[in-house]
Chain A
Amino acid sequence: MSLYVDRPSVIHRLDPLTKLCYIAAAVTVPFICPVKSVALLVAAVTYILLAAGRVVTKVLPLLGFVAPVLLSIFIIQGMFMPDNHALVFRIGPLYFYKEGLSYAALLSLRVIGILGAFSLLVLTTKPSDLIQALMEKGLPPEIGYVLNAVLQIIPQMANALQRITDAQRARGLETDGRLLDRIKAFFPLIGPVVMNAFVETKDRAMALEVRAFNSKTKRTFLHVRKKHPADVALRIMCLAAIILAVVWRLVG
Chain B
Amino acid sequence: MSIIKAEALRYKYPMQDELALDHLSFSIDKGEFIGIIGENGAGKSTLCQALNGLVPHFHKGAYGGTVTVAGKTVHETSVGELSTIVGMVFENPVVQITGAKLTVYEEIAFGLENLGLPRSTIIERVDEAIELLNLAEVRDKSPFALSGGQMQRVAIAGMIAMRPEIMIFDEPTSQLDPQGATEVFEAIETLSRNGVTVLVVSHQMERLARHADRIMLMHGGRLVAFDTPERLFAMDFSGISVRRPVYTEIVRTVQKAGGISAETVPVTLEGAAEWLVKHRG
Contact = CB atoms under 8 A, between A and B. Distances in A.
Interface of A: 128, 141, 144-145, 148-149, 152-153, 156, 200, 203-224
Contact of B112 (A156, A206, A220): A220
Interface stretch (B102-110, B127-135, B171-179, B248-256): B102-110
Given A200-B95, A214-B79, 20 more contacts: A141-B114, A144-B100, A145-B100, A152-B99, A152-B101, A156-B99, A206-B54, A206-B90, A207-B90, A207-B98, A209-B80, A210-B83, A211-B111, A211-B159, A212-B84, A212-B115, A213-B114, A219-B116, A222-B112, A222-B123
29 contacts: A141-B114, A144-B100, A145-B98, A148-B99, A148-B101, A149-B98, A152-B144, A156-B144, A203-B92, A204-B96, A205-B58, A206-B90, A207-B98, A209-B83, A210-B87, A211-B98, A212-B80, A212-B111, A214-B80, A215-B83, A217-B114, A219-B113, A219-B114, A220-B112, A220-B113, A220-B122, A222-B112, A222-B122, A224-B119
B49 to A, nearest CB: 8
A203 B90 contact: yes
B239 interface: no
A211 B95 contact: no
B150 interface: no
B9 interface: no
Given A203-B92, A210-B54, A210-B87, A222 B113 contact: yes
B79 A204 contact: no
Contact of B100 (A149, A200, A222, A223): A149
A207 B109 CA distance: 14
Contacts, number: 100
Nearest to A204: B95
Nearest to A223: B106
Contacts of A152: 99-102, 144
Interface of B: 49, 52, 54, 58, 78-80, 83-84, 87-88, 90, 92, 94-96, 98-102, 106, 109-119, 122-123, 144, 155, 158-159, 162
A211 B90 contact: no
Contacts of B159: 210-211
Nearest to A146: B100
A221 B78 CA distance: 24
Contacts of B116: 215, 217-220
B58 A206 contact: yes
A210 B106 contact: no
B115 A209 contact: no
Contacts of A156: 99, 144
A211 B100 contact: no
A-B pairs with lowest CB-CB distance, top 10: A148-B100, A211-B111, A217-B116, A203-B95, A212-B114, A207-B96, A149-B99, A204-B95, A149-B100, A214-B80
A211 B114 contact: yes
A211 B79 contact: no
B100 A220 contact: no
A147 to B, nearest CB: 8
Contacts of A223: 106
Contact of B99 (A153, A214, A218, A224): A153
Nearest to B164: A210
Contacts of B106: 222-223
Contacts of A206: 49, 54, 58, 90
Contact of B54 (A141, A204, A209): A209
Contacts of A144: 100
B99 A211 contact: no
Contacts of A221: 113
B189 to A, nearest CB: 22
Contacts of A212: 80, 83-84, 111, 114-115, 162
A219 B117 CA distance: 8
Given A145-B100, A204-B99, A217 B115 contact: yes
A227 to B, nearest CB: 15
Nearest to B123: A222
Nearest to B90: A207
Contacts of B83: 209-212, 215
A210 B115 CA distance: 11
